[in-house]
Amino acid sequence: MGLVGYGLAGAVFHAPFLAADPDLRLDVVVTGNPERRAQAEAEHPGVAVVEDFEALLARSADLDLVVLATPNRFHYEQALAVLDAGLPVVVDKPFVPTSLEARQLVEHAKSRGLLLTVYQNRRWDGDFRTVAGLVDSGELGRVHRFESRIERWSPTPKPTWRDSGGAEDVAGLLYDLGSHLIDQALRLFGPVAAVYAEIDRRRPGVRADDDTFVALTHSNGVRSHLWMSKVAAQEGPRFRLLGENGAFTKHGTDPQEADLRAGRRPDDADWGREPAGQRGELVLAGETRQVPTERGAYQDFYAGVVRALRDGAPAPVDPSDAVTALDIIAAARRSAAEVTVERLI
C-alpha cells in the first residue's frame, strides 16, 4: 500500500485501518512535512516516507494499491496518474471537484480494468447502520421525511484549506460533510428529483461555506433535510425519521472519529461501540422504546477493498455513487446562488 498525504485524513482516517488489517501492509507514505514524516515513522515503523507524489509513482512496481488522502484539489490529477501507472486507487471523499471529472475517472478505471473506489466511511457509522436497519425493517411504515445533521461549534476558523480555502481548494462544508450526508440519503431513499439549498459563510474571513442546509426530494417522494454547520452552539438530533407508523430520533454522533483522534485503534476490543445512553428512541403507536445502536465499523471499507482485489468482489463503494453525489452538490450550489429549486429528473 502507498498512502499519499499524512495530514488529518491520512494519519487519522486511513493509516490506522491499513495497519490493523492483516491483509494490508503500509509500505510508502508521501509527505513533505518534516513533522509528519517523523510522525509516520514513529507510528508505522519500517514505512518508507518519500517527499513527493512522483517518488511514490517511481515505486509503483512494488505496490498493489494507492490511497489518496491529499487536499481535494489534487485528487483528479493524482488518481489519473495512479491509474496510468497500472494501480488500483482509493480516493478520499468528495472524490474530485466536479462530476465531469468523476465520470472521466470512472471510465478510465474501467478501460484499464482497475479498481477505483471512494472512501465514504460514514456508511459504516453505527448510528447510520441502525437507521438503515429500521428503514429496511418497515417498522416505521413509509418514511416521508428524513432529517440528518452533522453540526459543530467552531466559531474561530482554523488556518487550513478546509476552513479558510476557497473554490479553488474545493473547500467548505457542502463538499466535506455534505458528501457524507448526501451519500447516506441516497443509500436510504434512492434517486433525487429536486434540490434546494441555503449555503452561507458565517465566520469572519472564511471563503467557503460553514453553515449549509440542503433539501432533497427523492423520486419516491421522501424528503431529506440535511444540515451541516460549524457555528452550531447547540446540536440538533443526528437523525430524525418520520413515517406513517411512527418516528425515530437519535442524538449524539458515532464514536469512531473521536476515538481515532484520541489515538484509539480499530483492533481495540470495544471499537465502534456507542455508550448506551446515546441510544435512539423509536415511537410507535404512542409507545416509546430505545433502540440499541449497531457497532460502527470503518474497517469494513478496507476489508471490502481486499475482497475486491483478491476475489473480484464489487468495490466497497461504487464510484458512480460519488458521481451522483457530485451532481447533487453542483445543483445545491446553483440553487443557493440563484434561490431556485433545481430539478434533476
pLDDT tens string 137-195? 999 999 999 999 999 999 999 888 888 788 889 999 999 999 999 999 999 999 999 99
Q: Report residue 172 CA to chain centroid gap.
A: 14
Predicted confidence at residue 325, as pLDDT, reads 98
Confidence of residue 222 (pLDDT cuts 50, 70, 90): very high
Predicted confidence at residue 168, as pLDDT, reads 87
| Interval 58-64 mean pLDDT | 96
Task: Output the nine-digit C-alpha cell for 1.
Answer: 500500500
Domain with CATH 3.30.360.10 in the chain: 122-296+326-343
Domain with CATH 3.40.50.720 in the chain: 2-119
The pLDDT mean for the chain works out to: 96
Question: 2-119 has which fold?
Answer: Rossmann fold (3.40.50)
d(CA 267, CA 291): 25
Confidence of residue 112 (pLDDT cuts 50, 70, 90): very high
Predicted confidence at residue 206, as pLDDT, reads 92
Predicted confidence at residue 277, as pLDDT, reads 86
Question: 122-296+326-343 has which fold?
Answer: Dihydrodipicolinate Reductase; domain 2 (3.30.360)
Determine what percent of the chain is predicted with pLDDT higher than 70.
100
Tell me: pLDDT of 96 over 90.
Answer: yes
DSSP codes of every residue in 66-120: EEE-S-GGGHHHHHHHHHHTT--EEEETT-SS-HHHHHHHHHHHHHHT--EEEE-
- What's the pTM value of the predicted model, to 2 decimals? 0.96
| Interval 267-292 mean pLDDT | 93
d(CA 99, CA 167): 15
